[in-house]
């Protein structure tokens, strides 16, 4: 599984409206509902799972990156959405800096190894400055998706 396999253009927000952490998380969960990856009836449950995880420690990991995530019995497979903010989102990041790239994902409950592998893959992918530069320059959701497709490690 590559990161590109988790995303479609419909799951990408090229310019997020959110200015704060909680708004950003809600915006990306809503994107998963719109894309049909989470049922509308399950929105609040999934959102609450992510908020609970986020309250233990911010997933703003530095370098303008945040990776809010959780496990939930409301999903049958890993689901993800990606958002970009050119102005930056206040995310209470570990480095105190605003976030420009947010990857939100939800893993089925009891898939701990999948959860760790997904988190590690996203962090490693976005740790590459060249990837972040390309994501920043992409003009729309389709170009952002192409960066994920072209730059994601295979295998």
Domain for residue 5, yes or no? no
Q: What is the pTM of this model?
A: 0.94
Domain for residue 90, yes or no? yes
Domain for residue 140, yes or no? yes
Which pLDDT tens digit goes with each residue over 128-139? 999 999 999 999
Total domains in the chain come to: 1
> pLDDT value at position 3?
75
List 69, 74, 84, 115, catalytic entry? 69
Indicate which CATH number applies to the domain containing 16.
3.40.930.10
Q: Give the pLDDT band of residue 151 (cuts 50, 70, 90).
A: confident
**In the annotation, is 69 catalytic?**
yes
Contacts of 39 (CB under 8 A, 6+ apart): 33, 74
Q: Give the pLDDT band of residue 154 (cuts 50, 70, 90).
A: low
Domain for residue 112, yes or no? yes
Domain for residue 75, yes or no? yes
Which pLDDT tens digit goes with each residue over 68-125? 999 999 999 999 999 999 999 999 999 999 999 999 999 999 898 998 999 999 999 9
Contacts of 98 (CB under 8 A, 6+ apart): 64, 85, 87, 88, 89, 90, 91
- Tell me the residue range of the domain where 44 lies: 11-151
> pLDDT value at position 153?
66
Which pLDDT tens digit goes with each residue over 10-27? 999 999 999 999 999 999
Domain for residue 6, yes or no? no
Tokens in use for 46?
């999934």
């Amino acid at each position: 599984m590559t990161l590109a396999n988790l995303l479609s253009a419909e799951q990408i927000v090229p310019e997020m409206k959110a200015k704060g952490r909680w708004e950003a998380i809600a915006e990306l969960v809503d994107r998963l509902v719109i894309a049909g990856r989470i049922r509308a009836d399950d929105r609040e449950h999934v959102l609450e799972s992510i908020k609970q995880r986020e309250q233990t420690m911010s997933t703003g990991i530095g370098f303008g990156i945040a990776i809010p995530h959780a496990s939930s019995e409301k999903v049958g497979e890993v689901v993800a959405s990606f958002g970009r903010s050119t102005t930056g989102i206040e995310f209470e990041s570990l480095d105190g800096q605003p976030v420009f790239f947010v990857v939100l994902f939800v893993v089925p409950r009891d898939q701990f190894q999948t959860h760790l592998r997904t988190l590690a893959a996203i962090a490693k992918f976005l740790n590459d400055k060249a990837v972040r530069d390309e994501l920043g320059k992409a003009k729309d959701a389709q170009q952002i998706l192409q960066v994920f497709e072209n730059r994601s490690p295979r295998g």
